[in-house]
Amino acid sequence: MNLILLVGTMTGTAQSVAQELELRLDDGQVRPVMKLMDGLDAAVFAPGGVFLLCTSTYGQGDVPDNARALFDSLAATRPDLSRVRYGLIALGDRTYADTFCFGGKRFDALLTELGACRIGEPLLHDASQGTMPEEVAAQWIDGWMAQVREGAPA
């Protein structure tokens, strides 16, 4: 099974999480491929398949700068994503309660609106808890992958 990890990041934290998961998931059955969102557009979803978005939140609840083109492309072209299944890891900080994990939440809402099927509940990591997002994601991923293999939606 191919799994595309799409990474939206400003400081590299989301990329570190995705790299940890890429190593953890590469077991001969799953073929994870990490792609930074830099320069990507809606065409990345064209073949359908399984995607895991790992993104931080920036500014006033925005997607990171490197994810802006992809987000805007999806919003403008509004492709049919009914062949896309995805999961979400959103990084944020609850001290910014009004915009906590909004980078990921914005992608989640848009993908769902375009017909994509989210698998499981998103992982919303809270930096103010003092936990390492790579460790939290490593604990979360096994349950998510079990749902992917079962073909389960949210």
| Per-residue pLDDT tens digits for 106-118 | 999 999 999 999 9
Task: Determine the Cα–Cα distance for residues 14 and 6; give it in Å rounded to an integer.
Answer: 10
Q: What pairs with residue 154 in β-bridges? A: none
pLDDT at residue 120 greater than cutoff 70: yes
pLDDT at residue 152 greater than cutoff 70: no
Look over the chain and give the mean of its residue pLDDT values, rounded to a whole number: 93
Other beta carbons within 10 Å of 6: 23
Residue 9 pLDDT: 95
AA letter at 6: L
Task: Determine the Cα–Cα distance for residues 101 and 69; give it in Å rounded to an integer.
Answer: 19
Give the pLDDT band of residue 153 (cuts 50, 70, 90): low
- What are the φ and ψ backbone dihedral angles of 83, each rounded to 5 degrees? -95, 10
Structure tokens of 120?
Answer: 């499981």
| Per-residue pLDDT tens digits for 19-74 | 999 999 988 889 999 999 999 999 999 988 999 999 999 988 899 999 999 999 99
Note every long-range contact of 75-80, with CB atoms under 8 Å and residues 24 or more positions apart, other chains counting. 75/110, 77/41, 77/42, 78/114, 79/42, 79/45, 79/46, 79/114, 80/114, 80/115
Task: Determine the Cα–Cα distance for residues 3 and 54; give it in Å rounded to an integer.
Answer: 13
pLDDT at residue 78 greater than cutoff 60: yes
Structure tokens of 97?
Answer: 């309660």
Looking up tokens 């890429």 gives 22
